[in-house]
Structure 1
Amino acid sequence: MLKLDSHIELDYARFFRWWGGELAAILPAPLRASLWPQRARLLLSRRGEQVQVSLSDDNGERPLGLFPLDESAAREREKLYETTPHLDEAELCLRLGQGQSLLRTFKLPAAASENLRQVMAFEMDRLTPFKADQVYYSIQLIERLPDTRQIRVELALTPRAKLDPSLDELASAGWRPERVIADGARANHDLLPEAFRRPRSRLPQRVNIAAAALFALLLLATLALPAWLNYTLEQQLRQEVRQVTKISKEVEDIKAEAEKLAHENGFLLRKKSEEPATLEMLDELSRLIPDQTWLNGLQYRDRKVVIQGQSPAASSLISQIEASPYFKNTNFVSPVTKDVASGQERFQIASEVLGRRASEQAIPPQ
């Protein structure tokens, strides 16, 4: 039964691509080549410390040789363009191998096609081993599946940590790719970061037929004034943004300098407040140790004090020292022994010394 209330999805871009392809197919090959010339591609492939250069055109792909990326790179590159002048018109592309890129084909809900790139950013860590901020990626719609209300897409990606150094090294050698493609991916994929893209020309494309030329001129005349006003406004806004950015940077520098000075000025005060008061610690020990107890040695290092001596009852010293707010974790370092000559117990006790601030809070003023 015919359902007149069914929703029909029209892909206008796909229709016009098909229609244009059918029209181009009936034209003679020389005329089609003059109206829609295919731009050749100069393909770069990394081979260790060298780059493999190949030319891809209507005659297929053929290698042009290996070129270094050292001091002689610019000279070798200029020599290549001098010997083959038609390479100036070729599109320079960096081709990534299987170990440098990742290709995946999967299905998504049809609603994802409205904002496909944003949806892919949220699903990146689930569908790939990477997060969205770790890679450069390109996603293309391959097919719509109305029966399951899904779409089939192809994802091409490469890690930022690998592509950025490679592009910098190529740029230093004079190679500045216009496009980054993954080996085996569809032609529409481009992984070139925005930072490495060249500013595109605002000039209209070549007029193919007389009617198209007339339409382009009329459209240009109609939109010239708004376009110029928008361009002027854009330049003015860019200038204002640059000024605000400069002022913001100066403010951040002043703030950082003030924080640095404050940190340096407060270093001694913090150091003094964090370190235990040695005189107070010694005074506290002299108050805690009974008169019948004798000290033979005292060591203090890294907030830890070790005392050695003799006492009639060495075990009672642990509780007395531990009860003080100046000390904690008090224990015997070695077993208590009996001195035969004096009849007293030999001991060696270690304890951690609290900071001065903690001791001042613990001891009320008298």
Structure 2
Amino acid sequence: MSGVRDTLQRFRARLGTGPGGFLVWWGQALATWLPARWRVLLGLTGDRLLFQRHEDEVAMAWQQAAHRHALARLPATVTPGELRALLGTRLAELPRWWLMPADKVLRRRLLLPSAAADRLRDVVRFEIDRQTPFAAHEACFDARVLGVREDGQLDVELVAVPKAIFAAGLSGLGALGGGLAGADVEDADGLPLGVNLLPEEARVTRQAPQRRLHLVFATVAVCAMVFAAWRVLDNRQAGAEAFAAQVEANADAARRVAAQRQQLVDLVAGTTTLNQTSARRPTALEVMDEITRRLPDTTYLEKLAIEGDRLTLIGFSPEASGLVARLQGSPLWRNPALSGALQPDPRTRMDRFTLTAELLGKQDPSAATSAGGADAAGHH
């Protein structure tokens, strides 16, 4: 039952993306019935060329379905014209992708409602400030759906990298960096994750290989459909039944449109809630800046964690007992306290501490100033 449910959910998600998404899904489903050699011949396996920078060379590989074949190591000064002369006709037409190393990107797991599937990038854009130490306009990012839970929620992975790091790595490909269709990330098995971090305006779309053969098959398919339609129209009874089925299908489509409209309303409401929540809570950068200004230079942190409204600090300090007083009066949190006893560290000759605090919402600057003055007067 779970397999059928997942299939239906993927089908509804494809319908939600419009006629183009449905046709892509339908074509991929039909392609799975073809033999493997036919799918390779027709260019339906998603083949692409992968490029990685290794020291002074660029490693080139061919991804064929779920397999990766190493082709050659090229000098970093190679040009697209030289690459085309090196490759055969079929490989030269494949889309070219930059495969980024995994240690250059930041990955976060998210749980999102099923309605977010239609606008996944727009939804995760609002999560970047909370899940990463940089803003959305400062990063190249993408997201992929890892699975669908039984309650309908999407298990999503956010993949992001600062634009400065992205640009520096892309420049390492030399002239090959200008003709890319995308930028993916290498997983633990050496295969791409299935994301595209390259900005849309920089992507180069290539004509699919074996295009003429595709057109021939499409023409044959159209002729077969016309012949089938003529045979159906030759029988009045079959035509009447087909008309009744079409009316019922239109009714189902109308019901689906109504359901999708409600999903869109829910998505807008959820996006508004995310915006309001993000605006009320201090960002990770604000919290780290406030901590840096309040902690003495002799103190260093081993861990800083923000889980919901709870702030946790773990580190070492020669004056750990006085850190609570230093953290008092901040407009970003309240009730700072030591969690557990101080633990002397003979190696550093410092005390290991664990501090917790409750994060507050953002305040008006005048209110924050008055609150800080009142707190200071109370301590005085």
TM-score of the aligned structures, taking structure 2 as reference length: 0.44
Question: Whose radius of gyration is greater, 1 or 2?
Answer: 1
Q: Whose relative contact order is higher, 1 or 2, with alpha carbons under 8 Å and at least 6 apart?
A: 2
Q: Which has the higher helix share?
A: 2
Instruction: Using structure 1 for the length normalisation, give the TM-score.
Output: 0.45
